[in-house]
Amino acid sequence: MPIKDRIVAEVTRNWKCGDDKYPPSKPLLSQQFEQVIETNKVRGYKLEDWKFQSVTDTLGFCETIVAVFTKENDPT
């Protein structure tokens, strides 16, 4: 499949230490990712692969999802 038929999306959520409000003021990472999947589905792309990474330091942590979407074949 040619590279032009693929797009990449990155979704990131940062959490500060002591940020324990529930429900959180911002959407959770999973909720943001679901929105990205749905938006790209409407655009004619399907999720091909994704990776999750979490980085922690003394101030909090950062969650990131990087996803690859492929253009769905046009049945016409």
Question: CA distances (Å), 12 to each of 1, 37, 57, 72, in order?
Answer: 28, 14, 16, 25
Note the pLDDT of residue 1: 52
Domain residues of the chain, as ranges?
3-71
pLDDT along the chain (76 residues), means of 10: 81 81 75 97 96 91 95 68
Whole-model pTM? 0.80
State CA 55 to chain mean position distance. 16
Instruction: Name beta bridge partners: 71.
Output: 45
